[in-house]
A and B are shown apart, each in its own frame.
Chain A
Amino acid sequence: MSRRRSLTATIVAAVIAVALGILLSFEIHWFPVQASAQSHNTDRLYHVLVIASVPIFVLVVAVILYCVWQFHMKPGEELKDGPPIHGNTRLEVFWTAIPAILMLGMVGYSFVILHDNEKKPAHEIQIGVTGQQFFWSFQYPPSVTGGPTINSYDLYVPDNESVYFNMRSKDVIHAFYIPAFRLQQDVVPGITTHYLATPDRLGNYPVVCNLLCGEGHSLMRTTVHVVTPTKFRAWIKSQLSESSSSTGKISTVRGASG
């Protein structure tokens, strides 16, 4: 095969590989289900990153394979050297400038997504989160309950309402992570950190501690229940009556782990 034809063949193969790579990233959805408004944004960012990344990787691999195929040492070339090409300023400027522009473009787009994800909603409900070795507990303030603060080991949130979590740690650093929401935030002793999510899909999703917090770290898991606003209010009501009957003690130990 002539050099020109083999180059054409490599380019065609590379283009097919790029198309396949991007197609696969869309067809196979590795992520958990999307259960928050933010998750749609973050997944879109992921797809943009993949579309930008696959061609770069394929380019690198294609050049290597083509060079191995065409330029490997043939018998009789043991003492031969390649042409003494020391560089090409135009090419070097090109592969400095293009990646720089690409990087800034991607970073810019990621900031747009970040801004969207963290935009203060018109209306939000506030829930307290307490992390301690090795379980989570949740505090529903009077603004949510309409009565006294509820302390619960279960996390219920209403669908399609923005939830603003105020998070504190009693001992070491934990991280509050809900993969279905695509959001996590460290929970740090001494300061209050915040986590804004807008659940938009009914269901139960895992909540995990995502920062090593000691021996029981791997079992510091619980579940977030995204329920309809009606069910949410009913659940709050049941918690209120339970807590008044048990004189303000922690209402339920179901769901505690670790």
Chain B
Amino acid sequence: MAAKLRAPGFYRAGWLMVGGVGFATLLTWLVRMSTGHATYHHFLSGEAVLTVSLLAVPIAFLIGIGGFDYWFYWATGRPTRPEDHSGHGAYTWKDYFRINTDHKVIGVQYLVNSFFFLLVGGLLAMLMRAQLAEPGSHFVSANTYNGLFSVHATLLIFLFMVPVFAGFGNYVIPLMIGAPDMAFPRLNALSFWLLPVAGTIMLLSFLAPGGAFADGWTAYAPLSTDAPIGQTFFSIGVQFAGASSIMTALNFLVTIITMRAPGMSFFRLPLLVWANFATSLLVVIATPFIAASQFFVLLDRALGFNFFNAAKGGNVLMYQHVFWFYSHPAVYIMILPGFGIISEVIAVKARKPIFGYRMMAFSLLAIVGLGFTVWAHHMFTSGMAGWIRIPMSITTAIIAVPTGIKVFSWLATLWRGVLHLDTPMLFALGFITTFTLGGISGIMLAMVPFDIDVSSTYFIVAHIHYVLFGGSLMTIFAGAYYWFPKMTGRMYDERLGKWHFWTTFIFMNLTFGPMHVLGLEGMPRRVATYAAQFADLNMWISLASFALGLSTLIFIYNMANSWRGGPKAAANPWRGMTLEWLVSSPPPVFNFDRVPTVVGGPYEYGVPGAVHGILAPTPATVAAGAGLARAPS
């Protein structure tokens, strides 16, 4: 038992977390006692202990499961243990529940964790739609309702959209560029374990006195600085999710720059890798801004800093500028990797090279650059200086151009192809349709007078869901079906996949389409009840949304059932050219037993005799320990 308590794992994490609470109690007691002035007549404050615990306990957990062990050994000058690769790969299901340095295991951890939070976030949406089915409903209280939509958005953005793409990237990027793993496997392992921590913090906020954080995922000050303690769960949860994002993005950048196989020049990179390269640039530059915005709120709340207290010289609008400087690029963080997935699926399923490959790569970089110049279009009605609206409106309209290039290039890739209309392709085509609608409503919102009318109405709700549900989520489903055989070594059920697509596509449009109308009619978003004139459409939307929620169960059943007992998948079921299809399904522990060399472009379909990569004729001699000897189960 003593050995178990000392070895990295959940036992050690358990007692360290208890220690974390003790530390928080002691620290707040010491500080409050030593300052000793009248404000602190209670030396022990539950809120203060809770706030410090929210920082200390997660860190104790991460130390406990062994996220920092190697670095602690190294930093304290103790002999580091020789790398025996024992922390690498998964041989039983238990290996998915520990610090694991294999990018494929981490990728699966990311994906399963993300889909879990998709279900939770979706369930919260069902509760919201139950409340909104009729005006004046008392299904939940107004405060609970505000908590529901806030946690819904926060979970789906920070625990689903952003990490699910990091999951795909983690699994696929090293395989696509011909690398044995990511550049920093230990950092990679830590970056994953920050996510369940962040998600747990956000969900626990429902148990906080005063309810969950209820200011939307935007947490505008000064509403958030005066809110009950639940808000602290958001401010701190976001820090862990953001740290995870930054670590992964750094890892992707270094991996893509330094670990490409021989012959893999930048212009031979598959577009998924390009997309993640662009996304990682956005993440590394932008994410510190949301961390800052939430630290401001935390300091205002916990220590009375008055960053956003107008009466004490604070600046309320500054919050929005700092927040959107991350949160607008975040929209691209949540769609660019999806563009990459769609490019892979469409090239393979249309059996044609991507039309205008270089423009596809450059348009990603254009979006990265322009993405940093549009943030204040979220603030056209905020009361900021009027002139800022003019340049921000122009850049917002212009950023549609590189996005348009991508849509037109996909369409041209379809032209005269041989279209395999299976589940990933259906999701790809569905994506182009609904994302175009979301893009068009985005362009309309870039026009200042129109935005001044419908900003913060249901038109915005419709727009964001067409972009994130009709856009990002469709690409995620496409990617999940497309790489399912590679990740699990099994084939999914094609018939159920098609059912999933059609139910999702139809009910998605029936749910979010009418929201445009509600917005034009002037129904505000984030309301627990509404005027009677909006009743009919809301009932319709609620019914459609329940059907949309049910459609997800088809996906979950298909994935779970096929993973357990689907037919065995071949190494290359789609006849794809990129390197991940050259190795077995699932790939060997170190990906390539024979070193790949890249000799051509990634999408040379229809070019006689063209190949993208070739494997060296003899197995590589990898200097590795015990990990290689065991075969993955």
Contacts and interface: CB of A to CB of B under 8 A. Distances in A.
B429 A212 contact: no
A103 B401 contact: yes
Interface string B509-524: 0000000010011101
A60 B440 CA distance: 12
A92 interface: yes
Interface in A52-82: 53, 56-57, 60-61, 63-64, 67-68, 71-73, 77, 79-82
A210 interface: yes
13 contacts: A67-B415, A71-B418, A71-B419, A82-B416, A83-B352, A95-B408, A96-B404, A110-B393, A177-B524, A184-B455, A208-B524, A210-B456, A215-B142
A92 B527 contact: no
B381 A56 contact: no
Nearest to A50: B444
A80 B418 contact: yes
Interface stretch (B157-165, B311-319, B332-340, B584-592): B311-319
B165 to A, nearest CB: 24
A68 B605 contact: no
A177 B415 CA distance: 47
A32 interface: yes
A188 B443 contact: no
B351 interface: yes
A184 B447 CA distance: 14
A32 B521 contact: yes
Contacts of A147: none
Given A188-B382, A211-B456, A214-B223, A67 B351 contact: no
Contacts of B557: none
Interface string A207-228: 0111111111111010000000
A187 B220 CA distance: 13
B77 interface: no
A45 B450 CA distance: 7
A72 B429 CA distance: 13
Q: Top 9 A-B pairs ranked by shortest CB distance?
A: A179-B522, A190-B310, A218-B527, A110-B447, A81-B606, A82-B417, A82-B352, A84-B606, A103-B397
Nearest to A173: B220
Given A49-B450, A57-B440, A213-B223, A67 B417 contact: yes
B453 interface: yes
Interface stretch (A9-17, A111-119, A137-145, A150-158): A111-119
Given A30-B517, A175-B381, A218-B528, 12 more contacts: A49-B444, A60-B411, A63-B411, A73-B420, A99-B404, A103-B401, A118-B386, A179-B521, A184-B456, A185-B383, A217-B146, A217-B526
A111 B522 contact: no
Contacts of B418: 71, 73, 77, 80-82
Nearest to A74: B418
B353 A85 contact: yes
B398 interface: yes
B572 interface: no
B549 interface: no
A56 B436 contact: yes
Contact of A56 (B440, B452, B520): B440
B400 interface: yes
A46 B450 contact: yes
Interface stretch (B169-177, B354-362, B620-628): B354-362
A95 B408 CA distance: 7
A190 B386 CA distance: 17
B449 interface: yes
Contacts of A210: 455-457, 524
B34 to A, nearest CB: 34
B299 interface: no
Interface footprint category on B = 35 or more
Nearest to B405: A96
A216 B526 CA distance: 11
Contacts of B604: 84
A85 B355 contact: yes
Interface in B218-239: 220, 222-223, 226
A209 B531 CA distance: 13
A206 B401 contact: no
A125 interface: no
B453 A30 contact: no
A38 to B, nearest CB: 8
A84 B417 CA distance: 9
B390 A111 contact: yes
Contacts of A208: 522, 524
B602 to A, nearest CB: 12
A159 interface: no
A28 to B, nearest CB: 9
A43 to B, nearest CB: 9
Contacts of B311: 189-190
Interface string A190-206: 11010000000000001
Given A100-B398, A191-B383, A209 B524 contact: yes
Nearest to A97: B401
Interface in B511-566: 517, 520-522, 524, 526-531
A55 to B, nearest CB: 11
A102 to B, nearest CB: 9
A106 B443 contact: yes
A70 B450 CA distance: 39
A183 interface: yes
B407 interface: yes
B350 to A, nearest CB: 6
B526 A212 contact: yes
A161 to B, nearest CB: 21
B27 interface: no
Interface in B222-270: 222-223, 226
A212 B525 CA distance: 8
A124 to B, nearest CB: 17
B623 to A, nearest CB: 40
Given A42-B449, A64-B433, A71 B605 contact: no
Nearest to B446: A107
A104 interface: yes
Interface in B603-617: 604-607, 610
B419 A67 contact: yes
Contacts of A67: 411, 414-415, 417, 419
